[in-house]
Amino acid sequence: NPARINVPIGIKHIYTTNYASFIVSTEDDLYGFGLCALLGNKYTIDTCDIQKIPIPGKVKLMSTSSVPRIGVITMDNKFYKWGLNITGVPTEIIHMDTSSIPPGVEIVDFSLGEQHEVVLGSNGLVYAAGYGLYVRNQVKCNVNIQTSFVTY
């Protein structure tokens, strides 16, 4: 039977990974509960207690993957991510460098996977960051960029 969880905040959005659940409150703050909701060693949660996640800023967008990887775009267009890295080690919250996205271009949507992040700008362009093989203009290219974005 599903357990009822007492949520002491107004809920705007709910997200889940294989190990944790996240709530964006009506005040645009981020909360998490469940195994590894906060991941990085000093923030790990192993309970169903809902705790506020220390994101610097208010949440505009959020995305999760099953790895688990979690990403947040704040109201001031900053990108933060955390989760298990490729070797399965929990990471702290990482601020992604979005300086290759032109000033004035808002991030309107994004997705992240095990080793990649892709964002959609308000100018209609897609920006990507991560490790591995990707295709650009039908030419296979190796990218080894962890924290800055390439324009498509």
pLDDT in tens, 44-56: 455 567 788 888 8
Joined together, the tokens standing for residue 49 give 């207690």
The answer to which of 45-54, 67-76, 95-104, 132-141 has the lowest mean pLDDT is 132-141
More confident residue, 21 or 148: 21
User: Residue 95: what pLDDT?
Assistant: 87
pLDDT, mean of residues 62-79: 87
Global pTM exceeds 0.75: yes
Q: Contact 44/82 with Cβ under 8 angstroms?
A: no
